[in-house]
Copies of this chain bind each other. A is one copy, B any other.
């Protein structure tokens, strides 16, 4: 028997389930920007201010926040501190998420030393590689261990997120090891599509693809300019100059 489509009407948990995927990505953005507002001593922000700071449309932002049931104050805005906590809770940042990083070559080494993780509630608690020259060294005070230790050590240290920064061909095997250790969330920097069970979430960061998307836009722009010039006699400047627009992002 399957789960009925509408179990638990008005339940406390269910509202989370219904946050659109696209909104989740932006909520994370709002959270960081709110942190900065908070550090600067702001008590409240309006949707317009926060929207400008994050490059998002204000109505969209309000709708995003409405998904986590936030309470803004009409005529005023949102109280920074409470909103911040609400976002943290919605994003599951109440309990720390321990990160294991596999592959400490070029990119991996940088990620291991990158301050942006630990400071934000994602401490890197384990490093792995296969290279005998790397296994045994310390990076940022953390010992690099052999990949074969992944299952044991991940379980031991309560790893919930795995980052894969290995060469492409090694990624799937590493992924399988992480999954076998119970890791359900994987951030994949390797240029391959990982095969995982349905209860594992994978996100991919693909730098070469990002550049190619940009390359496409250069090419298109040159074509646009050429045709527009041919018709108009002078180049176009089509888009609005960014009152916080146009940087739609994912």
Contacts and interface: CB of A to CB of B under 8 A. Distances in A.
Contacts of A237: 197-199
Interface centre among A115, A171, A214, A231 (most CB of B within 10 A): A214
A11 to B, nearest CB: 8
Interface string A173-198: 10010000000111100010111111
A245 B241 CA distance: 40
A224 B17 contact: yes
Contact of A250 (B32, B130, B186): B130
Contact of A7 (B197, B205, B231): B231
A249 B198 contact: no
A247 B202 contact: yes
B227 A172 contact: no
Contact of A245 (B110, B172, B210, B244): B172
Contact of A193 (B3, B97, B247): B247
Contact of A24 (B13, B173, B216): B216
Interface string A147-171: 1100000000000110000000111
A97 B218 contact: yes
Interface stretch (A38-46, A71-79, A88-96): A88-96
B247 A173 contact: yes
B16 A161 contact: no
Interface in A31-55: 31-32, 53-55
Interface in A118-159: 120-122, 130, 147-148
A218 B161 contact: yes
Nearest to A11: B227
Nearest to A7: B231
Contact of A196 (B120, B242, B249): B242
Contacts of A243: 195
A250 B202 CA distance: 12
Question: Which 8 pairs from chain A and chain B are nearest by CB?
Answer: A198-B239, A92-B219, A110-B110, A28-B212, A55-B193, A185-B214, A28-B209, A201-B217
